[in-house]
Amino acid sequence: MTTPLAGLTVLDFGQVYQGPYATLLMAKAGADVIKIEPPEGEPLRRRAIAAGGETTLPMAMLNANKRAVTLNLKSGAGKDLLKRMVARADVLLENFAPGTLDSLGVGYDVLRAVNPRLVYATGTGFGISGPDRDNLAMDFTIQAASGIMSVTGDPDGPPMKAGPALVDFMGGIHLYAAVMTALLQRTATGEGQLVEVAMQEVVYPTLASSYDYHLRTGQAPPRAGNRQAGLASAPYNAFQTRDGWVAIHVLTEAHWQNLLRAMGRTDLLDDPRFASNPARTANMAATEALVTAWTLGLSRQEVVAAAKRHRIPAAPVRNAVEVMNDPHMHQRGMLERIDHPALGPIIVPNSPLRLHGADRVVPVPSPSLGQHNQEVYGDWLGLGAEGVAALRQAGAI
């Protein structure tokens, strides 16, 4: 197969969302990703087991096309086993709390001595240095610390988090980018390196408009619901239809003129209340009432169709079920239907990184806990069946 990362071996200590998403992108590009879990499984798997199951949909989504082994790094045999794998690997990725592998005696300095070409990637909440290094970090708490929650929600309501785990996945994307950048440098230097990504730092640029608001006004930006704070566009909101909601964003005067045509209100083209974006912003209530009067008389599909005909930026507010069954993404191959041995028929994502000319990696369901212990330790490391049995007897796997 012609895949960009064919021949690359990745040791994946990723857990929950951030790390596993970075290595999923690698697996979908053809890398041999070996998912390494403690004998009891990583947190997402343990949660499923505690609930009486084997895995969860997020676990299946983020760990497809990987091999899975168990490894007990609290045992001497487990540490030795990791070093044997590192000697043959290109990348090791983890998103533990800072210093976790160092405390176990298998941190970057130790592993670099084993394999100087190793790219060691670590994803954390606040980084591996600085006064906040050891603060516990989850997507929710980083949304709070990064400022995201301060500008999310209704103006008169409390701070709100974004619904999806945006910080975790942005961290995963940046981890992938860091690894690829280090691998590119390795082609020139022949040496690996330590790369790190802090979730708080990767989301900082997303608040660019909020920082601009402060620069212009000297004030902290307010929450504005579905509207924009500061230099607003109008209309810019979610508008109710007969059977749902549609998001409409008028950015240019051409958009506004097209919206008036779609609404059949060309009589307002020269109305001074709506003649420019500053005027519409100053008359926000009247502007939004005008649009709402139109959308309430139509279905969501009718509003979106009219917006498409008239070249107006708009989209239906869809729920998760609708998005999972999106014909567009299924036709493009971004979403794939597979039969999972534990979950049955499910929908999983492909990689959003499109490298034209590369072969498509056929989807393989996520593995069960330790499914490939024999394949990786027995065959890849050459320990054989007896060696694997001895490792299991010693509590190393």
pLDDT in tens, 64-73: 999 999 999 9
* Burial of residue 47 (number of CB atoms within 10 Å: 0-12, 13-18, 19+): middle
- Segment 116-156, tens digit of pLDDT: 999 999 999 999 999 999 999 999 999 999 999 999 999 99
Same-domain pairing of 191 and 45 = yes
In terms of DSSP bridges, do strands 194-198 and 236-240 run parallel, antiparallel, or are they unpaired? unpaired
Same-domain pairing of 186 and 57 = yes
Same-domain pairing of 106 and 175 = yes
Distance of CA 187 to the CA centre of its chain: 28
Q: The domain that contains 250 carries what CATH number?
A: 3.30.1540.10
The pLDDT of 174-179, averaged and rounded, is 98
Rounded to 10°, the helix 284-295/253-263 angle is: 40
Same-domain pairing of 348 and 310 = no
**Residue 43: what pLDDT?**
93
Is 63's pLDDT higher than 90?
Answer: yes
Distance of CA 267 to the CA centre of its chain: 46
- Segment 89-101, tens digit of pLDDT: 999 999 999 999 9
Same-domain pairing of 70 and 124 = yes
Q: How many distinct structural domains can be found in the chain?
A: 2
Same-domain pairing of 34 and 78 = yes
The pLDDT of 179-205, averaged and rounded, is 97
User: Does a structural domain hold residue 222?
Assistant: no
Q: Please spell the DSSP secondary structure of 78-103, one letter per residue.
A: HHHHHHHHHTT-SEEEE-SSTTHHHH
**Residue 233: what pLDDT?**
85
Same-domain pairing of 181 and 267 = no
Expressed in percent and rounded to 5, the helix, strand and coil fractions of the chain are 45, 15, 45
Domain boundary among 284, 316, 348: 316
- Segment 15-36, tens digit of pLDDT: 999 999 999 999 999 999 999 9
Query: What is the band of 8 on the pLDDT scale with cuts at 50, 70, 90?
Result: very high
User: Does a structural domain hold residue 300?
Assistant: yes
Same-domain pairing of 43 and 77 = yes
Select which of 12, 168, 243, 270 is catalytic: 168
In terms of DSSP bridges, do strands 314-316 and 335-340 run parallel, antiparallel, or are they unpaired? unpaired
User: Does a structural domain hold residue 217?
Assistant: no
In sequence order, the β-bridge partners of residue 345 are 339
Please give the DSSP secondary-structure letter assigned to residue 342.
Answer: T
User: Does a structural domain hold residue 284?
Assistant: yes
* Burial of residue 254 (number of CB atoms within 10 Å: 0-12, 13-18, 19+): exposed
Same-domain pairing of 135 and 32 = yes
- Segment 244-271, tens digit of pLDDT: 999 999 999 999 999 999 999 999 999 9
**Residue 230: what pLDDT?**
66
Is 1's pLDDT higher than 70?
Answer: no
Is 232's pLDDT higher than 90?
Answer: no
Is 189's pLDDT higher than 70?
Answer: yes
- Segment 361-384, tens digit of pLDDT: 999 999 999 999 999 999 999 999
* Burial of residue 302 (number of CB atoms within 10 Å: 0-12, 13-18, 19+): middle
User: Does a structural domain hold residue 293?
Assistant: yes
Average pLDDT over the chain reads 96
**Residue 29: what pLDDT?**
97
**Residue 231: what pLDDT?**
58
- Segment 209-230, tens digit of pLDDT: 999 999 999 999 999 999 877 6
Q: Is 339 a catalytic residue?
A: no
Domain boundary among 271, 299, 316: 316
| Residue-number span of the structural domain to which 84 is assigned | 9-204+325-393
- Segment 296-355, tens digit of pLDDT: 999 999 999 999 999 999 999 999 999 999 999 999 999 999 999 999 999 999 999 998
- On whether the CB atoms of residues 112 and 120 are closer than 8 A, the answer is yes
